[in-house]
Amino acid sequence: MERISWNQYFMAQSQLLSLRSTCTRLMVGATVVRDKRIIAGGYNGSVSGGDHCVDKGCYVVDNHCIRTIHAEINALLQCAKFGVPTEGAEIYVTHFPCVHCSKALIQAGIKKVYYDTDYKNHPYALELFEQAGIEVEQVELDEVVLDRNYQEKLQLTTDLLRRLEEVEVDHEQLIEMIEKTRKLYTPTKP
């Protein structure tokens, strides 16, 4: 069995962290890594003990939810809280960082930013990263690597569709099932 790459491993960690998000607008996760070791993680959500967007709704001002602390900031704050230096570390984020998070990452000494999904990639954030000499790389998570039974599921589905075709299931229904199957087995980004 082939092991997944480090980039896929750390991006998968960020995706897993995003599942803890309490933001109803966008679920984001971030993993801070140094020397191939996870030193912190964060997801976007409210202040500890405060109201959460999932419970009270978003508190939107100027098209931004001010109730939410971004995943990158939560990860950096975790490092600060426990005295873990971030100088020279890397960060894996599910979505491209906003301008404010980009500035915080630069100030924290992050040397490389990996992100999965483009999200309002602000030109000023890219400019800031370039000025600071921080490399930015898109690493799309291949979710197939996380499913050890992917090939078997795909083969079973293909076999079932062939059997349905053989027993002459309504052509329109069969086409609809094939389209649903393609969508299910084709990775998509939000």
Looking only at the bridges linking them, the beta strands covering 64-65 and 60-61 are antiparallel
Instruction: Decide if 90 is catalytic.
Output: no
In angstroms, the CA 128 to CA 82 distance is 28
Phi, psi (deg, nearest 5) at residue 40:
-170, 160
Helices (H) and strands (E) in the chain, counts: 7, 7
Q: Which of 72, 140, 166, 168 is catalytic?
A: 72
In angstroms, the CA 109 to CA 90 distance is 9
Tell me which residues are annotated as active site. Answer: 72
